[in-house]
Structure 1
């Protein structure tokens, strides 16, 4: 029976621009026989539990080679991804993968086999730096950022959304469906700012919104988002118009290096001009704590990725319908 490694912490203060990361390790056997230690991380908010590797993993047909199989965990049938296979590393031994990190995001539960789970680290989003191209390319562009830890080691924060998308495990709900006029009142097309550090997520969200006729601008984190808003505000003042004539809606992820979406939203809602712009928190996290955090920073709505009809409904519900200071 799978045993839980119980060290999940309390929720962090909302909008503090901090997160907690599970530090886990993967060990790669090198050509000279030495062992290289990969120091990796995942946001605690995505993690349900860390368990010993279950012995009831069953391979199913049609799965990619990186998916070890399916296992029943606490009554749920969960796909189990072998991270070593995805990383294309040679493991020190056949039984190196001792633990499974059970994650829940994007409405899915998935288990990831890892070699060791070390500890919880509390870090600031501002301390997360972009990875050097060599490291990012080695892991298929799926590194959100790097964090320097003790001993000069670098912890790599992995983009599990991108990994699952690569394995064909991401669902975009309703992407091929037409949303009826009864469901969405199509009262104009809007200029929308989307914030997400994941290129995969930005591509999917941009596709949904552009298909509906909206103009999109992008930012990779809250810092870039605020700079874009400052630029738009300056342009609006020069043109003698309101900021909402330049931008009608913001759709923001939460997990972003530099400045997270909750901190970004709090700053937007505290600004005398930016606060006029509705903000939709669009995240892979669906737990009640995340919804509560979004409310605490005065986000207008919370949405779990990637639900095309629901996103479009919220866009048309909250977008400021003003063009040249006139209601649409």
Structure 2
């Protein structure tokens, strides 16, 4: 059993320096000629609690087809998800001693994922983490959010939030419906006020961006979005330049930034740091919306200049806070 150190789990405390650590793991795919091809994948250390030998599981009735069963770990029942099955990989039939279960914690939930082997932990700059859109056309259904080039292989970072939502639809942001949320003001006057405001979204997951955009635009907000922190920074600099050239206040163009933490090229905390270094963005409200918003990560986000933080999948809370910070109302 391999426990991650507190230093590894809290690596995002240093994200003002735009760095992260990933656990590299393998998934094996059997080709039509019988040979086995190894694929290399990664997950942010901040999502990983520990790595264990494959546990004995108990079948759970009516579970998702990719769920092998559940097991008890320190008085918690945890599902074991066959990641290869979810990715629709044709896998070798026999089990292998190198297989491990990665225990994860994000979205306020614990899960585990069956993988075919653990390689090592890498510490890298987000600048070296590339968007998959540079390789393939981005699609809402894409489950790869980032790619890391190594000397002899590519490591693909999977969209574990999307996997979680597919396995646990009742806990997914997709289950939220703004039209039935009684805490949200849906009166015509409020909708019209929101229609004059622009919210900027920075998130590397097309799945998450679409959900946030649908929720906020249904409430009335205008939406602009970016695929990662670097693209967000460049677009926001264009707003700054346009406002200066036109002689208008910045908040006539953009009123609030919602940013993920984990993003290729520039992470969300580094984006906050860069924005707060500029006079024009010193007072624009910034909300961090992340699946790994622990108490320590929240402290760091606020220290760097974020106004507030929300843990996915609390998208209803995100809309409440957007109203609060855009209009200054409780």
TM-score (norm 1): 0.88
Give the structure 1 partner of residue 106 of structure 2.
105
**Alpha-carbon spacing, 1:6–1:220, altered in 2? closer, same or farther (3 Å):** same
> Is 1:220 the counterpart of 2:217 in the alignment?
no
Superposed, 1:132-151 pairs within 5 Å as 141-150=142-151
Task: Please report how far the alpha carbon of residue 106 of structure 1 lies from its aligned counterpart in structure 2 after TM superposition.
Answer: 1.3
C-alpha deviations, 1:276-302, integer Å up to 9, x for none?
211000001132221122122111001
Q: What is the aligned-residue RMSD (CA, Å)?
A: 2.7
Tell me the number of residue pairs that the alignment of Structure 1 and Structure 2 aligns.
Answer: 316
Give the structure 1 partner of residue 3 of structure 2.
6
Q: Distance in 1 between matches of 2:101 and 2:118?
A: 9
> Is 1:178 the counterpart of 2:181 in the alignment?
yes
TM-score (norm 2): 0.87
Decide whether the 8 Å contact of 1:144 with 1:158 is kept in 2. Answer: yes
Structure 2 residue runs without a partner (length 5+) = none
C-alpha deviations, 1:183-212, integer Å up to 9, x for none?
999593121001100011011111221121
Task: Please report how far the alpha carbon of residue 9 of structure 1 lies from its aligned counterpart in structure 2 after TM superposition.
Answer: 5.8
Decide whether the 8 Å contact of 2:164 with 2:172 is kept in 1. Answer: no
Decide whether the 8 Å contact of 1:191 with 1:215 is kept in 2. Answer: yes
Decide whether the 8 Å contact of 2:291 with 2:311 is kept in 1. Answer: yes
Q: Distance in 2 between matches of 1:316 and 1:269?
A: 21
SS of the residue corresponding to residue 296 of structure 1 reads helix
Decide whether the 8 Å contact of 1:253 with 1:282 is kept in 2. Answer: yes
Superposed, 1:115-194 pairs within 5 Å as 115-131=116-132, 141-150=142-151, 152-169=152-169, 170-172=171-173, 174-176=176-178, 177-180=180-183, 186=190, 188-189=193-194, 190-194=197-201
Decide whether the 8 Å contact of 2:67 with 2:80 is kept in 1. Answer: yes
**Alpha-carbon spacing, 1:181–1:24, altered in 2? closer, same or farther (3 Å):** closer
**Alpha-carbon spacing, 1:232–1:301, altered in 2? closer, same or farther (3 Å):** same
**Alpha-carbon spacing, 1:135–1:180, altered in 2? closer, same or farther (3 Å):** closer
C-alpha deviations, 1:62-97, integer Å up to 9, x for none?
222111122222211122210121122233343137
Task: Please report how far the alpha carbon of residue 98 of structure 1 lies from its aligned counterpart in structure 2 after TM superposition.
Answer: 2.4
Superposed, 1:49-128 pairs within 5 Å as 49-55=50-56, 57-96=57-96, 98-128=99-129
Decide whether the 8 Å contact of 2:285 with 2:326 is kept in 1. Answer: yes
Between Structure 1 and Structure 2, the one with more helix by share is 2
Structure 1 residue runs without a partner (length 5+) = 322-326
Decide whether the 8 Å contact of 2:82 with 2:113 is kept in 1. Answer: yes
Task: Please report how far the alpha carbon of residue 317 of structure 1 lies from its aligned counterpart in structure 2 after TM superposition.
Answer: 1.7
Structure 1 segments, 4+ long, off by >4 Å, are 132-137, 181-187
